[in-house]
Amino acid sequence: MKTRRQFLAAAATVAVALPARGEIPAGTNVPSVVPEGVPLFRFIQINDTHYQSPRAEVIHPTYLQANGRVHWLCDALKSGGVFPPVDFILHLGDMTHQHSVDRRQELRTFKALLDTLPVPTYTVVGNHDNVQGEGNPEKEAPYREVFGERFDYTFSHKGVGFVVTDVSGTGMPDLPPARVLRREQRFREHLDSFGSQPVIIAAHVPLLPVRESAVLAKSFGFVSHYVREPGLLEIVRTHRHHVVAVLSGHLHLSGTVWSDGVAHIDVCGTASYPHDIALHTVYRNCLRTQLLRLPSDLLVPSTNIHGAHRYGRDFTDATHPDYTGYLMGSAAEREVLVPLRRPPRP
């Protein structure tokens, strides 16, 4: 445990690296900011854990040792000394892996683990948590019974608003059009409700591509490599003066892109290589995000879904010329500083 603590403690205290424009995709704008004062609070983002109950009828081998990484992370959060103190956990979806409609046992087992943590957890529904059943009451029922109405909701913490939006069914042909309209209506209402407060958005699927879209579509292999319905991104643009960042997962790779001064930060998650989580630190003037890999003895390269193990070749794009950078993002994507933006006064 000592080696793991040293590894993550060192990662959590590395010097702040300001984004370099040359490492950020063209056409984006990167603000410059330096943290002021002591942190107001910290929270940890985990996602794509793909936990499987040991009592499951079928164990899927896609993400080897995924359960072990979940248990290690829970133990580290409970024991202290691995991470700086955090106020809460934000889980951005795909908590479990089972594909059957009745996932209650899986979700209950996972929630029991979350309930052992010393701080509260806010959850986002992922496509594995409701079988891509956004807007389908039958498919949503297991998640609702275990986690309640945590689909489209908000919370506030020490002056920062959080807007959670359910995009788990994006791109699916059976996604009800009425659900898309309702999703956008609630999203706009939730952003409006925070007035001039800075806001952080949490969605399982990124709102825009975090790699070249054509390449990412091939390496990911699913239509949902970003939210296909454009309404949410347009709403973010109209609220860009107080939206700080959009946090997401789903892709099983890590990276950051900027649009209208908003950072779109996607985290690989623990199930798939390179096994990242995110430590978010909020200062009075900015959000600092650090992407952290789990300890080396927990890494399983064969769980990489974007590379040779799955396709017989690795992937790169124009801003990520090697496959490691394609998976993990550049240094500027893994250490991000974003101003806490507020609407201009009239």
* Gap between the Cα atoms of 264 and 175, Å rounded: 24
State the pLDDT at residue 102. Answer: 64
Strands 153-157, 276-282: pairing kind: unpaired
Using the predicted structure, report yes or no on whether residue 7 has a pLDDT greater than 50: no
Q: Which residue has the tokens 């164990």?
A: 59
* Gap between the Cα atoms of 320 and 315, Å rounded: 9
Using the predicted structure, report yes or no on whether residue 29 has a pLDDT greater than 70: no
Q: Which two tokens stand for residue 176?
A: 């009800």
Bridge partners (DSSP) of residue 275 are none
* Gap between the Cα atoms of 284 and 161, Å rounded: 13
Say if CB 16 and CB 35 are below 8 A apart. Answer: yes
What are the structural domains, with CATH classification, of the chain? 2-10+34-339 (3.60.21.10)
State the pLDDT at residue 104. Answer: 87
Arithmetic mean of pLDDT over the chain: 89
Highest mean pLDDT among 80-84, 98-102, 237-241: 237-241
Higher pLDDT, 61 or 70: 70
Q: What is the CA radius of gyration of the chain?
A: 19
Say if CB 87 and CB 41 are below 8 A apart. Answer: yes
Which residues are CB-contacts of 38 (< 8 A; sequence separation ≥ 6)?
Answer: 283
Q: Which is it for the CA torsion 56, 266, 288, 259, positive or negative?
A: negative
* Gap between the Cα atoms of 317 and 214, Å rounded: 9
Q: Is the peptide bond before 274 cis (omega within 30 degrees of 0)?
A: yes
The amino acid occupying position 150 is R
State the pLDDT at residue 186. Answer: 98
Residue 317 is classified by DSSP as B
- pLDDT tens per residue across span 109-141: 999 999 999 999 999 999 999 999 999 999 999
State the pLDDT at residue 307. Answer: 92
171: left (phi over 0), alpha (psi -120 to 50) or beta: left
Say if CB 238 and CB 282 are below 8 A apart. Answer: no
Alpha carbon distance, N-terminus to C-terminus of the chain: 54
State the pLDDT at residue 209. Answer: 97
Crossing angle of helices 104-114 and 66-79, rounded to 10°: 30
Average confidence (pLDDT) over 160-179: 96
Three-state SS for 116? coil
State the pLDDT at residue 32. Answer: 80
- pLDDT tens per residue across span 206-235: 999 999 999 999 999 999 999 999 999 999
**DSSP letter for each residue of 189-207:** HHHHHTTTS-EEEEESS-S
* Gap between the Cα atoms of 275 and 300, Å rounded: 8
Q: How confident is the model at residue 201 (pLDDT cuts 50, 70, 90)?
A: very high
Three-state SS for 308? helix
Q: Which residue has the tokens 């879904």?
A: 305
State the pLDDT at residue 60. Answer: 72
Strands 41-46, 335-339: pairing kind: unpaired
Average confidence (pLDDT) over 16-43: 62
Q: How confident is the model at residue 100 (pLDDT cuts 50, 70, 90)?
A: low
